[in-house]
Structure 1
Amino acid sequence: MYALRCDAINQAIWDGLPDEPRQRLALALADACADPIGATDPYGEDDGIMRTLVTGDILVVIYLGHQTKTLHIFQIDYLG
């Protein structure tokens, strides 16, 4: 299981999402913490570190810290 890390800016974006997309994102990130490679897609070239998570109208760019078992949110884009 990976721990989730999110800076204040991305936390504010996440908190500002409408209820349904915010809940979908929370569930998708929980899945990604349990299985980061299986629950995400490569970001560009598949290096196993930079990944994307897409939940309908939300795109999240994440960095996987395999040694520290952390999933860092780099960017959240809400397309709705």
Structure 2
Amino acid sequence: MTFRLKIDPVVQAVYDSLPDDVASTLTLALAEVCDDPFARTDPYGVDDGVTRLLILDRVIAMLLVTNTPAMQAVRILQITYDG
């Protein structure tokens, strides 16, 4: 099952400002997340099955996972870059 990836324009601007190597690493990791968001991410705080963290070496993405019969989607809520 592949989840649909969503991002709003403000977060897209942050993504676009990342160095090329960091953006490439994040892109590949997000592709894996779309295949199985629960295996590739960690819970954010209490595991509510909805808010997840994708933790990489230099960047963290906070994600909102929607997993209903009507929609399977991963929305990027925030990107934090440690550069």
Alignment TM-score > 0.5, same fold? yes
The residue aligned with 2:76 is: 73
The residue aligned with 1:55 is: 56
Runs of 4+ in 1 over 3 A off after TM superposition: none
Q: What RMSD, in angstroms, separates the aligned Cα atoms of the two structures?
A: 0.5
Q: Point out where structure 1 has 5 or more consecutive residues left out of the alignment.
A: none
The residue aligned with 1:26 is: 27
TM-score by length of 1: 0.98
| Count of equivalent residues | 80
Report how far residue 29 of structure 1 moved.
0.4
TM-score by length of 2: 0.94
Cα deviation digits, residues 13-61 of structure 1 (max 9, x gap): 1011001000000001000000100000000001111000011110110
The code of the aligned residue for 1:78 comes to Y
More helix by share: 2
Report how far residue 63 of structure 1 moved.
0.3
- Cα separation, 2, equivalents of 1:18 and 1:59: 14
